[in-house]
Amino acid sequence: MSPLQAPGKQSGLLSAATVPKDPHMNAISPEPPAPTITNEPRAVSTLRVFGVGNAGVNIIESLLHKGAGSTDLVAVNADGASLAASAAPVKLHLEPKLLRGLGTGGDPERGRCAAEENFTQLTDACRGAEVVVIVAGLGGGAGTGISPVLARAAKETGAMVLVCSVTPFECEGTRRQRQAQFGLEQLRAVADGVICLPNQKVFKLIDQHTSLLDTFKAANELLADGLRGLLCLLGRQGLMPVHPGELCALLRGRVGESALASVEAHGPNRARDAAEKLLAHPLLDGGQALASAGPVVLGFYGGTDLSMADIQRVVEQINRQCENPQMLVGATVDEAFRDRLTVTLIAARREERAVGTENGAVTDAASRARPASAIGDDTEFLSMTAPTRSRTRLVPPAPTLPLEQVEQAFARQNGTGGRPRKVTSRLRQGTLPLDVVSRGRFDKTEPNIHRGEDLDTPTYLRRGLVLN
């Protein structure tokens, strides 16, 4: 569409959308189906998953391979090549003129421009969905730039927005990290719930010889697994349903990373196996994530033979690891899942203190991403045309924060609040090659988890001491 047309359409849409704020009210009111989406909403609460950026599209791809059930998958990217390779049923190619088919070139501002230009297209794509899940890899151009705008577009159609974001590896450079942090702040301001998973954790899964391709694949697989569990939890009318609103309420306002893990177990002992697998899950740091977790969401997905005792057994195991659990449990039964059990766990870090949003840059980011109704239509209109100003070949520098602010933000992100226990966990990373040492004579016994540390592992290993 031409940029001249866009503003008029948007403002009309806005005035219509600002009135009903309650998403449920809006979902009931009949809306004409969007032209790009051919699927009719069929589940009770319609889920739509958007994979944004290269990483997002890849994760969607993995999800598609695993079988996503009755969810609509949409791939959104500024890079045509990535979309062409994708098998997603619906694809949205956002391409402003200045990109010349080359993607965003790692610049979130360009991604943002592209998204703002095609805002109506995004709104149309979101229409009809009750819950919009945005999957994006932050740090690059498309994921960081497009997803906040997409989240806002989804909010305007009245959908509830849940974001699953992946932050880059630490070795990918500070610029990407900073961009990711910035994107995360923007997303937090506009989305209902943000689940943030640092890629760095995947390092625990791989050895020195794993190729780059396999590393990203492993990361995608893990996230797709978790995501599938999450979708099952939200998408199907369960026996013990978890309402998306409840989930978002738990996740809202959480700072720092969360953990999303999903495991599957078979056989008669599946409850015990599932609990064990969960506790050993690499994304949960061997239970350490649970010890520092505030709210914990557990989703069960099993056959008709799923028993209450199974659920209780797993919940109890998890409960024992958490210090003050605020637990939300959901269960879904599917005939095809006989003798199988999938358990999905979402753990958000406990609130330590409020985010220091008093500094200018962050509030700026937040207000830029905030929905229109908060500011008023006119100002929103202005702020929406503002990004076109930066249509220049010059690559603007990454969003700037004072150095100590950046450090603070990362400290918060990694959960290193200066407490001594966290330092030991950080030190432990240095001794990863030694981690192949088994627990010796306690190998087969129940793990001895105490405040997130397995006491059966020798103390000197946990303290990261190297014996000469």
| Interface of this chain with other proteins, residues 427 to 456, rule: CB under 8 A | 437, 439-442, 445-446, 448, 450, 455-456
Q: Which residue, 324 or 392, is less far from other proteins as judged by CB?
A: 324
Closer residue to other proteins, CB minimum distance, 338 or 463: 463
Counting contacts by CB under 8 A, is residue 216 touching other proteins? no
- Residue 463 in the binding site for other proteins (CB under 8 A): yes
Query: Cβ 432 to other proteins, closest distance in Å?
Result: 16
**Counting contacts by CB under 8 A, is residue 316 touching other proteins?**
yes
Minimum distance, C-beta of residue 371 to other proteins, in the bound complex (Å): 44
**Residue number, 135 or 279, with CB nearest to other proteins:** 279
Joined together, the tokens standing for residue 391 give 């249509």
**Which residues, 329 to 348, sit near other proteins by CB under 8 A?**
none
CB of 306 to other proteins, least distance (A): 20
Q: Return the axis-axis angle of helices 5-17 and 377-385, rounded to nearest 10°.
A: 150
Any residues with CB less than 8 A from the CB of 107 and at least 6 apart, and which?
141, 145, 395, 396
* Residue 37: closest CA among 96, 155, 123: 123
Q: Which stretch binds other proteins (CB under 8 A): 13-21, 102-110, 216-224, 457-465?
A: 457-465
Site track 259-298 with other proteins (rule: CB under 8 A), x = hit = ----------------------------------------
Write down the least CB distance from residue 226 to other proteins, Å.
29
Q: Which of 8, 85, 376, 460 binds other proteins (CB under 8 A)?
A: 460
Q: Which of 162, 402, 458, 464 binds other proteins (CB under 8 A)?
A: 458
Smaller CB distance to other proteins: residue 84 or 465?
465
Question: Nearest-CA neighbor of 287 among 263, 316, 320, 312?
Answer: 320
Query: Would you say 423 or 437 has its CB closer to other proteins?
Result: 437
The minimum distance between CB 460 and other proteins, in angstroms, equals 5
Task: Tell me whether residue 101 or residue 460 sits nearer to other proteins (CB atom).
Answer: 460
Using CA atoms, how far apart are residues 133 and 230, in angstroms rounded to an integer? Answer: 10
- Distance CA(179)–CA(14), nearest Å, equals 29
What's the CA gap between 315 and 74, in Å, rounded?
34
Give, in degrees to the nearest 5, the angle at Cα 231 between 27 and 218: 145
Q: Give the shortest CB-451-to-other proteins separation in angstroms.
A: 8
User: Taking CB under 8 A as the rule, does residue 326 contact other proteins?
Assistant: no
Smallest separation, CB 458 to other proteins (Å): 4
Out of 29, 237, 392, 468, name the contact with other proteins by CB under 8 A: 468
Total binding residues toward other proteins, as defined by CB under 8 A: 20
The count of other CB atoms within 10 Å of the CB of residue 98 is 15
**Nearest CA-CA partner of 162 in 49, 253, 328:** 49
Binding mask 381-420 for other proteins (x = CB under 8 A): ----------------------------------------
Smallest gap from Cβ 448 to other proteins, in A, equals 5
Q: Does 461 bind other proteins (CB under 8 A)?
A: yes
The first and second tokens of residue 130, run together, are 């009750």
For residue 242, give both structure tokens: 């978890």
Kindly tell me which of 1 and 437 has the beta carbon lying closer to other proteins.
Answer: 437
Is 19 or 309 the residue whose CB approaches other proteins more closely? 309
- Closest CB to other proteins among 284 and 315? 315
Restricting to residues 115-174, which ones interact with other proteins according to CB under 8 A? none
Tell the smallest beta-carbon distance from residue 341 to other proteins (Å): 21
As measured in angstroms, the least distance from the Cβ of 275 to other proteins is 15
Name which of 388 and 459 has its Cβ closer to other proteins: 459
- In the complex, the residues that contact other proteins under the rule CB under 8 A are 316, 437, 439-442, 445-446, 448, 450, 455-456, 458-461, 463, 465, 467-468
